[in-house]
Amino acid sequence: MSVNPHQDVERVLLDEETIHERLREMGARIAEDYADEPPLLVGVLKGAAIVMSDLARTIDLDVDMDWMAVSSYGSGTKSSGVVRILKDLGTDISDRRVLIVEDIIDSGLTLKWLLANLRSRGPKSVDVAALLRKPEAARVEIDVKYVGFDIPNEFVIGYGLDYDESYRNLPYVGVLKRSVYED
Protein backbone atom coordinates (compact mmCIF):
# COMPACT_ATOMS: atom_id res chain seq x y z
CA MET A 1 0.00 0.00 0.00
CA SER A 2 1.46 3.41 -0.91
CA VAL A 3 0.35 6.60 0.84
CA ASN A 4 0.80 8.70 -2.31
CA PRO A 5 1.55 6.52 -5.33
CA HIS A 6 2.33 9.47 -7.58
CA GLN A 7 5.29 10.39 -5.35
CA ASP A 8 6.80 6.93 -5.94
CA VAL A 9 6.98 7.56 -9.69
CA GLU A 10 10.43 8.49 -11.04
CA ARG A 11 8.92 9.75 -14.32
CA VAL A 12 5.83 9.25 -16.47
CA LEU A 13 6.74 7.09 -19.47
CA LEU A 14 3.35 6.98 -21.28
CA ASP A 15 0.50 9.36 -20.44
CA GLU A 16 -3.18 8.49 -20.82
CA GLU A 17 -3.71 10.12 -24.20
CA THR A 18 -0.61 8.46 -25.68
CA ILE A 19 -1.79 5.06 -24.46
CA HIS A 20 -5.34 5.46 -25.74
CA GLU A 21 -4.23 6.77 -29.13
CA ARG A 22 -2.02 3.69 -29.58
CA LEU A 23 -4.80 1.34 -28.43
CA ARG A 24 -7.10 2.82 -31.07
CA GLU A 25 -4.48 2.07 -33.74
CA MET A 26 -4.04 -1.50 -32.45
CA GLY A 27 -7.80 -2.05 -32.28
CA ALA A 28 -8.28 -0.91 -35.87
CA ARG A 29 -5.65 -3.39 -37.09
CA ILE A 30 -7.16 -6.22 -35.04
CA ALA A 31 -10.64 -5.47 -36.45
CA GLU A 32 -9.23 -5.67 -39.99
CA ASP A 33 -7.27 -8.88 -39.39
CA TYR A 34 -10.15 -10.74 -37.70
CA ALA A 35 -13.05 -9.34 -39.76
CA ASP A 36 -13.91 -12.82 -41.04
CA GLU A 37 -13.91 -14.47 -37.61
CA PRO A 38 -13.89 -12.29 -34.44
CA PRO A 39 -11.41 -13.60 -31.85
CA LEU A 40 -11.80 -14.74 -28.28
CA LEU A 41 -9.81 -12.17 -26.31
CA VAL A 42 -7.98 -13.79 -23.38
CA GLY A 43 -6.93 -11.26 -20.76
CA VAL A 44 -4.07 -12.27 -18.48
CA LEU A 45 -4.99 -11.18 -14.97
CA LYS A 46 -4.30 -9.27 -12.98
CA GLY A 47 -2.10 -6.91 -14.97
CA ALA A 48 -4.04 -6.99 -18.24
CA ALA A 49 -7.40 -6.10 -16.67
CA ILE A 50 -7.04 -2.42 -17.55
CA VAL A 51 -5.66 -2.77 -21.09
CA MET A 52 -8.19 -5.51 -21.87
CA SER A 53 -11.05 -3.20 -20.91
CA ASP A 54 -9.77 -0.33 -23.05
CA LEU A 55 -8.43 -2.30 -26.04
CA ALA A 56 -11.61 -4.40 -26.40
CA ARG A 57 -13.67 -1.24 -26.81
CA THR A 58 -11.50 -0.08 -29.73
CA ILE A 59 -12.16 -3.29 -31.69
CA ASP A 60 -15.26 -2.82 -33.88
CA LEU A 61 -16.12 -6.56 -33.94
CA ASP A 62 -18.37 -8.76 -31.79
CA VAL A 63 -15.46 -10.28 -29.83
CA ASP A 64 -15.76 -12.84 -27.01
CA MET A 65 -13.78 -12.26 -23.83
CA ASP A 66 -12.37 -14.48 -21.10
CA TRP A 67 -9.67 -14.22 -18.48
CA MET A 68 -6.90 -16.32 -17.01
CA ALA A 69 -5.13 -15.42 -13.81
CA VAL A 70 -1.52 -16.48 -13.82
CA SER A 71 1.34 -15.20 -11.75
CA SER A 72 5.09 -15.58 -11.91
CA TYR A 73 6.24 -12.44 -10.10
CA GLY A 74 4.76 -12.49 -6.65
CA SER A 75 5.98 -9.38 -4.90
CA GLY A 76 9.34 -9.15 -6.63
CA THR A 77 10.52 -7.37 -9.74
CA LYS A 78 11.91 -10.34 -11.66
CA SER A 79 9.97 -13.19 -13.27
CA SER A 80 10.63 -16.58 -11.78
CA GLY A 81 9.48 -18.29 -14.96
CA VAL A 82 7.48 -20.60 -12.75
CA VAL A 83 3.91 -19.79 -13.78
CA ARG A 84 1.00 -20.68 -11.57
CA ILE A 85 -2.58 -20.80 -12.88
CA LEU A 86 -4.63 -18.93 -10.32
CA LYS A 87 -7.81 -18.91 -12.44
CA ASP A 88 -8.29 -20.87 -15.69
CA LEU A 89 -10.44 -20.00 -18.72
CA GLY A 90 -14.14 -20.87 -18.61
CA THR A 91 -14.23 -21.14 -22.41
CA ASP A 92 -13.42 -24.19 -24.58
CA ILE A 93 -10.95 -22.69 -27.05
CA SER A 94 -10.78 -25.67 -29.45
CA ASP A 95 -11.10 -24.47 -33.05
CA ARG A 96 -11.30 -20.83 -31.87
CA ARG A 97 -9.15 -17.89 -32.97
CA VAL A 98 -7.58 -16.69 -29.71
CA LEU A 99 -5.91 -13.35 -29.07
CA ILE A 100 -4.02 -13.13 -25.76
CA VAL A 101 -4.12 -9.61 -24.32
CA GLU A 102 -1.19 -8.71 -22.04
CA ASP A 103 -0.04 -5.60 -20.28
CA ILE A 104 3.70 -6.26 -20.60
CA ILE A 105 6.23 -8.72 -22.01
CA ASP A 106 9.40 -8.49 -19.90
CA SER A 107 11.48 -11.71 -19.88
CA GLY A 108 8.80 -13.38 -22.01
CA LEU A 109 8.65 -16.37 -19.68
CA THR A 110 4.99 -15.94 -18.72
CA LEU A 111 3.88 -15.65 -22.32
CA LYS A 112 6.06 -18.55 -23.48
CA TRP A 113 4.37 -20.78 -20.91
CA LEU A 114 0.91 -19.40 -21.72
CA LEU A 115 1.27 -19.84 -25.49
CA ALA A 116 2.28 -23.48 -25.02
CA ASN A 117 -0.56 -24.07 -22.57
CA LEU A 118 -3.25 -22.55 -24.81
CA ARG A 119 -1.89 -24.12 -28.01
CA SER A 120 -2.21 -27.53 -26.33
CA ARG A 121 -5.99 -27.01 -26.20
CA GLY A 122 -6.58 -27.30 -29.98
CA PRO A 123 -7.32 -23.69 -30.98
CA LYS A 124 -7.45 -22.60 -34.64
CA SER A 125 -4.87 -19.91 -33.83
CA VAL A 126 -3.29 -18.14 -30.85
CA ASP A 127 -1.73 -14.69 -31.25
CA VAL A 128 -0.62 -11.96 -28.83
CA ALA A 129 -1.43 -8.30 -28.28
CA ALA A 130 0.70 -6.57 -25.63
CA LEU A 131 0.67 -2.92 -24.62
CA LEU A 132 4.34 -2.92 -23.54
CA ARG A 133 7.44 -4.91 -24.41
CA LYS A 134 10.99 -4.64 -23.01
CA PRO A 135 13.26 -5.87 -25.85
CA GLU A 136 16.41 -5.61 -23.69
CA ALA A 137 14.89 -7.82 -20.97
CA ALA A 138 13.80 -10.66 -23.26
CA ARG A 139 15.04 -14.10 -22.17
CA VAL A 140 12.96 -15.88 -24.78
CA GLU A 141 11.85 -14.69 -28.21
CA ILE A 142 8.09 -14.42 -28.64
CA ASP A 143 6.25 -13.58 -31.87
CA VAL A 144 3.95 -10.73 -30.82
CA LYS A 145 1.41 -9.75 -33.50
CA TYR A 146 0.38 -6.41 -31.92
CA VAL A 147 2.71 -4.37 -29.71
CA GLY A 148 1.80 -0.98 -28.25
CA PHE A 149 5.23 0.28 -27.18
CA ASP A 150 8.78 -1.01 -26.84
CA ILE A 151 10.11 0.49 -23.60
CA PRO A 152 13.45 0.64 -21.78
CA ASN A 153 14.45 -2.12 -19.36
CA GLU A 154 13.13 -0.36 -16.24
CA PHE A 155 10.48 -1.44 -13.74
CA VAL A 156 7.23 0.29 -14.65
CA ILE A 157 3.93 0.60 -12.83
CA GLY A 158 0.44 1.91 -13.53
CA TYR A 159 -2.26 1.10 -16.08
CA GLY A 160 -2.61 -2.37 -14.57
CA LEU A 161 1.04 -2.90 -13.71
CA ASP A 162 1.87 -3.35 -10.04
CA TYR A 163 4.67 -3.53 -7.58
CA ASP A 164 3.58 -5.78 -4.72
CA GLU A 165 -0.07 -5.12 -5.68
CA SER A 166 0.26 -1.32 -5.49
CA TYR A 167 0.02 1.30 -8.30
CA ARG A 168 -2.21 -0.72 -10.65
CA ASN A 169 -4.85 2.01 -10.96
CA LEU A 170 -2.48 4.85 -11.86
CA PRO A 171 -3.92 6.14 -15.16
CA TYR A 172 -0.50 6.32 -16.85
CA VAL A 173 2.62 4.12 -17.17
CA GLY A 174 5.49 5.38 -15.03
CA VAL A 175 8.96 4.25 -13.93
CA LEU A 176 9.00 3.23 -10.25
CA LYS A 177 11.59 4.90 -8.04
CA ARG A 178 14.29 2.38 -7.13
CA SER A 179 14.06 3.52 -3.51
CA VAL A 180 10.66 1.84 -3.35
CA TYR A 181 12.00 -1.66 -4.03
CA GLU A 182 15.66 -1.45 -3.06
CA ASP A 183 16.40 -1.46 0.67
Ligand X SMILES: O=P(O)(O)OC[C@H]1O[C@H](OP(=O)(O)OP(=O)(O)O)[C@H](O)[C@@H]1O
Active site residues: 106
Tell which one of 5, 42, 59, 107 touches ligand X (CB under 6 A): 107
Tell which one of 9, 50, 100, 105 touches ligand X (CB under 6 A): 105
The alpha-helical segments, DSSP class H, found in the chain are: 16-33, 49-56, 109-119, 178-181
Of residues 50-89, those binding ligand HPA (CB under 6 A) = 73
Residue type, 137: A
Q: Which stretch, 13-21, 48-56, 141-149, 157-165, contacts ligand HPA (CB under 6 A)? A: 157-165
Q: Of 149, 41, 59, whose CA–CA distance to 101 is shortest?
A: 41
Contact call for residue 48 and ligand HPA (CB under 6 A): no
Compute the distance between CA of residue 67 and CA of residue 142 in angstroms, rounded to an integer: 20
Q: By rule CB under 5 A, what string of x and - marks binding of each residue 68-107 to Mg ion? A: -----x----------------------------------
Compute the distance between CA of residue 118 and CA of residue 112 in angstroms, rounded to an integer: 10
- C-alpha pair distances (Å), 84 with each of 4, 46, 108, 157: 31, 13, 15, 22
Contact call for residue 162 and ligand X (CB under 6 A): yes
Contact call for residue 104 and ligand HPA (CB under 6 A): yes
Contact call for residue 131 and ligand HPA (CB under 6 A): no
Chain residues in the site for Mg ion (CB under 5 A): 73, 162
